[in-house]
Structure 1
Amino acid sequence: MYQIRLAISTLSLFFFSTVILQAQSTIFGYVKDIDTNKAVEFVSVYAKGTSYATETDKYGEYSLTIPSGENLTLVFSRIGYVETDMRLDAMKANQKRNININLAPEVSDVDVTIRTSKIEDVGMVVEEVTELKKLPTASGNFESILPHIALGTSGGTGGELSSQYNVRGGNYDENLVYINDFEIFRPQLIRASQQEGLSFPNIDLIRDVSFSSGGFESKYGDKMSSVLDIRYKRPDRFAASVSGSFLGGSAHIEGSKRLGKNAYNKLRYLVGARYKTTRYLLGSLDVQGEYIPDFSDLQSYISYDISKSLQLGVLTNYNRSKFRFTPRERVSASGLFTQVLQLTTIFEGREVNDYENAMAGVSLTFIPEKDKNPLFLKLLASYYDNYESERFDLLGFYRLSQVEFDLEGEGSVNEVAVLGVGTQQLYARNRLKYTIANTELRGGYELQVSDRANHFFQFGVKYQQEDIDDRLSEWERIDSAGYSLPFDENEVLVNDLIKSNNQINSYRIQAYFQDSYNILKANSYELKLNGGVRVHHWSFNGETKISPRFQIFYRPLKSGKEITYKIAGGLYYQPPFYRDIRRISGTINEDISAQRSMHLVAGLSYDFDWKRISRKKFRLISEIYYKKLDNLISYEIDNVRIRYSGENDASGYVAGLDLRLNGEFVPGAESWLNLSILQARESLNDVQHLKFVQGQEEPEQVDYVPRPTDQFFNLSLFFQDYLPKNKDFKMSLNLSFGSGLPFGQRGNNQIYRNTFRYKNYQRVDIGFSYQLWDESKRQTKPYHFLRSTQQAYLSFEVFNLLQIANVGSNTWIKTIGNQQYAIPNFLTSRRINLRFRVDF
């Protein structure tokens, strides 16, 4: 309880924390090339898990001040060389020690994290994933972790079953995802979170992740909200893992093998397979029936060092998701004690959704051996093949009534009035096929101006071909009290009739250039200036957009405090993809234009000591931002389905504040706390918006209304703890709270737009794990049945611990009097999961 109280107290204490000085020691020495015996400059030297870092000068020499009395791991890292770790025993106060290192050259595909200076860590949130694997998540997808580690990120309306996420008032389609520099594309037809399968990132294969919530560099693509940059491992030795739970399982294998006479001719391989089924979770939904979800994928990343300067990489993925559902009955109620609405529905029919996609990417990286002004060139080519289909014919016989509870008797439910009786039929035969092929050349060149200043120029050119074949056939029929709605004496009318067949072939040409200028004035300041520009041309509408972007980072060195200030911004265009240009009717808008967002971000990163809690530093990141939005394509969200208008018919803005604190609230167990406040507003062109004000008879005119992603407050906490006398017993707590997202009346969401809100999203997931085995126990337990493994643990997880009924969307019921009632569709209830994992 004491540790939990300390964790909670951070909300009020971290702004007033002071830096407590400690006794220090010094290590110094030189770094040389093991083959040529020449000095190696710009080698990053840092103590792992701390903020203590430096780099070698042109003579290969370095000096680093470190805390005394601690066992540390020193890391020596530079592009083109094998990263070297060294265990350093605790040193006495004011002690000095000489450590000289010889680095072995190695081919790099620019995946190695280069820590040229401390200021480099501030542009994006960078995290390793070792601890994040223990986070209890219902979806099993990596993206479910992002709200806990990334600034301004929330889970959206899909809730715990979805891997979709919103960033600073944007929707899911506004986010970029890269894996080893390959841009990742995702399914388009998914309507509800229970249909979602496995997302592309496989956490067993990930080395580290970088995330930017806005104001990112020109080298990243054309989206308006965020970029997630994932790097897969480059293994040097064999390792494997196997895990399983009530929700599926996974396995992976990795390693390296020397091929050829030279030591650098290495083949490295990563292979991962996953299977997921949410049938157990879906049994807690209010719609009862037979759920058969089957999701699986297989992916690999294989690289081969052809020479010291040339490396080949191949990334492949095959993903199959099949969701079959036969509903039987639904009984759900909503409202207060004074007026409770109950919807009872008996179903006929079936739903079958099938998503199949494959991807293959090849990269060739060239890094010539140069003592000065290093450069790299990287050629990438990838191909995506996607097939998606959704087929359903569902007939629901519903009865909507007002009920009251017999609180004095047996607690029975009594029907007071019948508000609507009828039939709702939903029909769809939709199919989407698309292929995306692209080729890209990237490069970088470092120009050393002086010992304390350098430029790093980067450029890229990309060609992308897109072929889309879409067939839509869907409608809804409502029969209320024997009358088909909308009612016509001469014919039977249906709602939301969409019939279309679209084929689109287009190409895109993209290019960027940027320069990062770094200046270091000893004992004064460190400054990084990044400026660049992107160009995007799309053949479909003949439009070319130019996006200038900038970043400024400043770190004063005189104060002794580890604070870095940041200002970033620019123009971020988002040229449409297929669903953006498709109107609600299914027709294509050939005059569509790119959406635009102007970013302005200011913030700071502060590493500070909090000795009462932990000996390791905490990090506080704070950012304020403003985004001016225009040329928007308006949309509405139903569960996870984004329905675009297909027109550039809106403008708006987003403003907010993000805070993140991470550190070891419990020694040896890192935790993250995220807090976000935002306001997202929009205005439809040529529409005078109105809203009802309590106490006024006439509605009030307003210039802006809430966007569908307007979530005023969001809080996420990932907290870890363990038993003080037995660290094998650990606890992981995942807490999420978000204010309700807005929505509007179905079919009438223009003038009175997004006037209602869902209830607040509140959820607590908790996991208890016991480490059955660790390789450090081999000497004390040489005959343990798990002795051949590296580590193994068993987890007991409780999803939705407090059993809160969160809402994912609404079912709209219309009566013969043309009244509409919104009945909430609740997300999953409390469920228990058992999970095991073995690492080899």
Structure 2
Amino acid sequence: MKHFSILVLLLLLCNALSFAQNATITGIVLDDNNQPLADVNITTQGLGTITSSNGFYILEITADIENTITFSHIAHKDVILKNLLLTTNETFEFNPVLKVDVIQIDEVSVSATGERTLENILNVTPETIRKIPGANSGVETILKLLPGVSSNNELSTQYAVRGGNYDENLVYVNEIEVYRPFLIRSAQQEGLSFVNSDLVKDVKFSAGGFQAKYGDKLASVLDIKYKTPTLFSLRADLSFLGASASLETVSKNNKFSSVSGIRYRNNSLLVNSQQTQSNFTPSFTDVQSYLTYTVSSKLQLNFLGNLAVNDYTNEPLNRQTNFGTLDNPQALVVYYQGQEKNRYTTALGALKGSYFLNENTTLKLISSIYHTIEEEYSDVIASYELGEVDSNLSSDSAGEVLTSRGIGSQFNRTRNDLDALIFNIEHKGSHTMNNSVLEWGAKYTHEDIRDQLRESEFIDSAGFSIRPPRAEFTNNQPADSFDAPLVAYNGIYALNFVKTNRFSGFVQLGTQKTWNDTDIYYNIGVRSHHWTVSGTDVEKVSQTVISPRGQLAIKPKWDKDMLFRLSTGIYHQPPFYRELRDSSGTIQPNVKAQKAFHLVAGNEYSFLLWERAFTLISEAYYKKLENVNPYTLEDVRIRYSANNDTEAYVYGAEVRMNGAFVPGTESWISIGYLKTEENRNNRGYLPRPTDQRLKLGILFQDYIPTIPDLKMYLNLVYQTGVTGGSPSYADPYIFQNRLRDYKRADLGISYIFASKDKQYPNTHWLHTFKELSFGFEIFNLFNNQNSITNTWVRDADSKNEYAVPNYLTSRVLNLRLGIRL
């Protein structure tokens, strides 16, 4: 009996241990077209399961031993996952792609960060995106650390890529092109990026030489994939800058899933750190949802919806900006009256249907409608004083203006209204054959823009209203009397009703081959775009462009892990509404598509350093631009000349190394050089507004070894200054200046109370939290004075005009709380 009791006890103990040594593998099985695959058999060591109708599976395996997982399907070749070693209660997500022509066998390797990988592919995880500190935390914060991406304004989510401007970047969310408001002129009016980082699953970014399947822009593509949830989850993020919450749901039969997010942002904390004191009342709110419904094994429906309301009210009060030199310190003191009241309301609804004709062919139909109503109303009077500053540090009036050298006033009035409706319907398809994928697409876009511009600027200096320095305003005072009416120094008055119909399409073929133990991949394709511009008092004009493109990648079977890439092609950017509108607000329908020839050569080298994995990525590029539509850039507002009398070029090189500089983390350092110039009307080359010569970006993550849950995130940016423009009516070929270099450091420190790797028993108060973190962020850690534009002030004595910098935000402290249930 005693021996029997001991035997029972041992059996119970072994049974308990067996339950304690389980782990879980889960995910979605996909086919060659990245579509969910049902009825896939998943087996390991006598255990098994099959995927549901939407490709989802979950399988418990034995922990702390090496497992071999086999994925098999009657119409596809097997995927065999070897050497998968999971710890007790660990969950590993694996989303394999089953092919019809080749058995895939791979071993699971553990990187220096502890992440299990199967391929050497750089991928910025959504978790990293959410944790990186920044005035506008999210995808754009990560992009701005890349060597070819520049932005001199931390309040803006916009970015320039390799010499392009903000209008030259494509953004897709689940294959749906998204837009941003038209009238925003200042970064502090932007509010929120369209992309909600809490909903993001994958981020892909191309800085040039992209495939023909992507649309008609000159600079870059940001391709975002939102999640298709498999489990319920609730996430919240709170800080002094606002709050956000996201919800992930899935039905019991796994046919329906949704991911939704709501965000609120208030930039008062940042804007109040600027030199202009103001009563600032912003309200930036948006709601997004991405819904997925699997009708059958052959049909899947998706819906993306977004509603954003940006209310911006600003009542500036006063400002003092000290500038000049140590020998001649000066100051601009401004007192304001009036206020700005702007409102931007945007809505997007998109429906996508995917039909799986057979195992090799997928057909998609995508439709979307975007509507924006934008209002800009402002009446601001600025009375200014330009004077010398008391530089005696021991004086009670140190830093204050002692004597005035000029006084004046400026009155700005704005009454702008815009109503834009953009409708898209698109068909896309793909067909897999052997080692090749054929993709095609056709798209129709209708744009209906109704725009009323009413802007005026009056300048008064010592009691005299200054008229525009144009020939029609010359006079011979005081010899001849002059009684003409007051005329604004700058004024725009236009009423535009413009419609554009666009037809575009593409076809491309991608093939992978092996030649002499060398893997070769190439993609060739061509796009075509035809558009017609018409409207009230607008001449009807039609144009067509064709854009061939190609990419080549070679991976030799060397001991060193090297990959070589080459991309080239012709890229056109047919004019959007703003590119048709000249400096006076008049529509010029004959504006041609800007044209760029891209040549990009790159190399990826993966290696071990300090017994940790690193990747070195280097690229060199050249762009030749024709039919360029020149523009001026002030803050984030772009104003085009609406002609094609300019040619330009861009060239540069970039290097980026990423890896585990600190064990268990991922960091990177990047450096890039860029030069871009334009030749207007054969007058010679001069720097473009985005001529950002040198760029250094560092993303560094660290932790305290004895307290590994105390994390540190640091991002550093250094950029040489871009051209700062010139005073109104000044010829840029006569007057050019550059803004000061942009230097910024943002620091984030947080403590992880709970995470997927740090769970608690049922009795603990932290058990209900899947994730819980609290910390602080310091923006502009070293309090650098960065400027984005200049205010031009005339000295009545010397007749000189001074470029007074408009400084950006100073050092700011922000607290942040993150929760996931």
What TM bracket, shorter-length normalisation? 0.7 to 0.9
Among 342, 345, 364, the residue aligned to 1:353 = 342
Q: Say if 1:744 and 1:753, in contact at 8 Å, map to a contact too.
A: no
* Deviation, structure 1 residue 248: 0.1
* Deviation, structure 1 residue 79: 6.0
Change (3 A) 1:54 1:547: farther
Q: Say if 1:329 and 1:344, in contact at 8 Å, map to a contact too.
A: yes
Among 400, 417, 432, the residue aligned to 2:418 = 432
- The reply to whether residue 733 of structure 1 matches residue 689 of structure 2 is no
- Structure 1 residue matching 2:204: 3-state secondary structure: strand
| C-alpha distance after superposition, 1:54-78 (max 9, x if no partner) | 9999983567787999999683512
Among 764, 770, 773, the residue aligned to 1:793 = 773
| Partner Cα separation in structure 2 for residue 306 and residue 555 of structure 1 | 41
- The reply to whether residue 755 of structure 1 matches residue 736 of structure 2 is yes
Amino acid at match of 1:806: N
Q: Say if 2:259 and 2:291, in contact at 8 Å, map to a contact too.
A: yes
| Partner Cα separation in structure 2 for residue 726 and residue 270 of structure 1 | 34
| C-alpha distance after superposition, 1:647-672 (max 9, x if no partner) | 11211100000112111111221112
Change (3 A) 1:753 1:153: farther
| Partner Cα separation in structure 2 for residue 787 and residue 275 of structure 1 | 28
| C-alpha distance after superposition, 1:543-590 (max 9, x if no partner) | 100000000000001x12221101101010001111111111111112
Among 124, 136, 153, the residue aligned to 2:149 = 153
RMSD: 3.0
* Deviation, structure 1 residue 645: 1.0
| Partner Cα separation in structure 2 for residue 164 and residue 407 of structure 1 | 40
Among 637, 640, 646, the residue aligned to 2:636 = 640
2:549 maps to what in 1? 549
Among 350, 355, 377, the residue aligned to 2:363 = 377
Amino acid at match of 2:388: Q
- Structure 2 residue matching 1:173: 3-state secondary structure: helix
* Deviation, structure 1 residue 308: 0.8
- The reply to whether residue 235 of structure 1 matches residue 252 of structure 2 is no
Q: Say if 1:329 and 1:346, in contact at 8 Å, map to a contact too.
A: yes
Among 682, 687, 697, the residue aligned to 1:706 = 687
2:574 maps to what in 1? 575
| C-alpha distance after superposition, 1:735-770 (max 9, x if no partner) | 111000112322244352662111100011101100
Amino acid at match of 2:774: L
| C-alpha distance after superposition, 1:12-68 (max 9, x if no partner) | xxxxxxxxxxxxxxxxxx99998487999xx9xxxxxxxxx9999998356778799
Change (3 A) 1:751 1:207: closer
1:108 maps to what in 2? none
* Deviation, structure 1 residue 630: 1.1
1:274-673 superposed matches below 5 A: 274-370=263-359, 374-410=360-396, 412-413=398-399, 415=401, 417-448=403-434, 454-486=435-467, 489-491=482-484, 492-521=486-515, 524-540=517-533, 541-557=541-557, 559-612=558-611, 614=612, 617-673=613-669
TM-score for both structures, normalised by structure 2: 0.84
- Structure 2 residue matching 1:188: 3-state secondary structure: coil
| Partner Cα separation in structure 2 for residue 415 and residue 363 of structure 1 | 62
1:807 maps to what in 2? 787
Over alpha carbons, which structure has the higher Rg? 2
Of 125-134 and 461-470, the range deviating more from structure 2: 125-134
Change (3 A) 1:55 1:819: farther
1:197-216 superposed matches below 5 A: 197-216=191-210
* Deviation, structure 1 residue 193: 0.9
| C-alpha distance after superposition, 1:503-534 (max 9, x if no partner) | 0012100000000011034x711001100000
Of 659-668 and 525-534, the range deviating more from structure 2: 659-668
Among 255, 270, 273, the residue aligned to 1:266 = 255
Of 432-441 and 335-344, the range deviating more from structure 2: 335-344
| C-alpha distance after superposition, 1:157-190 (max 9, x if no partner) | 3x11110101001011000000000001111111
Q: Say if 1:596 and 1:629, in contact at 8 Å, map to a contact too.
A: yes
Q: Say if 2:129 and 2:138, in contact at 8 Å, map to a contact too.
A: no
* Deviation, structure 1 residue 145: 2.1
2:3 maps to what in 1? none
* Deviation, structure 1 residue 460: 0.3
Amino acid at match of 1:78: V
Amino acid at match of 2:634: D
| Partner Cα separation in structure 1 for residue 427 and residue 563 of structure 2 | 33
Among 795, 808, 811, the residue aligned to 1:830 = 811
Aligned residues: percent identity?
37
Change (3 A) 1:661 1:435: same
* Deviation, structure 1 residue 434: 0.3
- Structure 2 residue matching 1:131: 3-state secondary structure: helix
| Partner Cα separation in structure 2 for residue 426 and residue 135 of structure 1 | 38
1:262 maps to what in 2? none
| Partner Cα separation in structure 2 for residue 439 and residue 222 of structure 1 | 16
* Deviation, structure 1 residue 776: 4.9
| C-alpha distance after superposition, 1:285-312 (max 9, x if no partner) | 1111100111000010001000011100
| Partner Cα separation in structure 2 for residue 331 and residue 783 of structure 1 | 58
TM-score for both structures, normalised by structure 1: 0.83
| Partner Cα separation in structure 2 for residue 506 and residue 89 of structure 1 | 52
* Deviation, structure 1 residue 783: 2.9
Q: Say if 1:316 and 1:361, in contact at 8 Å, map to a contact too.
A: yes
1:78-227 superposed matches below 5 A: 78=97, 121=121, 126-148=123-145, 150-155=146-151, 157=152, 159-227=153-221
- Structure 1 residue matching 2:154: 3-state secondary structure: helix
Structure 1: segments with no counterpart, 5+ residues: 1-29, 44-52, 92-114, 260-264, 449-453, 689-702
Change (3 A) 1:72 1:313: closer
Of 379-388 and 663-672, the range deviating more from structure 2: 663-672
- The reply to whether residue 60 of structure 1 matches residue 57 of structure 2 is no
Change (3 A) 1:767 1:358: same
Amino acid at match of 2:521: K
Q: Say if 1:31 and 1:56, in contact at 8 Å, map to a contact too.
A: no
Q: Say if 1:68 and 1:90, in contact at 8 Å, map to a contact too.
A: no
Among 737, 740, 764, the residue aligned to 1:784 = 764
Change (3 A) 1:594 1:792: same
Amino acid at match of 2:529: H
* Deviation, structure 1 residue 607: 1.3
* Deviation, structure 1 residue 315: 0.3
Amino acid at match of 1:77: P
Among 232, 244, 266, the residue aligned to 1:250 = 244
- Structure 2 residue matching 1:756: 3-state secondary structure: coil
Amino acid at match of 1:811: T
- Structure 2 residue matching 1:161: 3-state secondary structure: coil
* Deviation, structure 1 residue 704: 1.1
1:75 maps to what in 2? 94
Change (3 A) 1:758 1:38: closer
Q: Say if 1:339 and 1:404, in contact at 8 Å, map to a contact too.
A: no
Amino acid at match of 1:201: V
Amino acid at match of 1:209: V
Change (3 A) 1:455 1:55: farther
Q: Say if 2:147 and 2:697, in contact at 8 Å, map to a contact too.
A: no
Change (3 A) 1:672 1:37: closer
Q: Say if 1:743 and 1:754, in contact at 8 Å, map to a contact too.
A: no
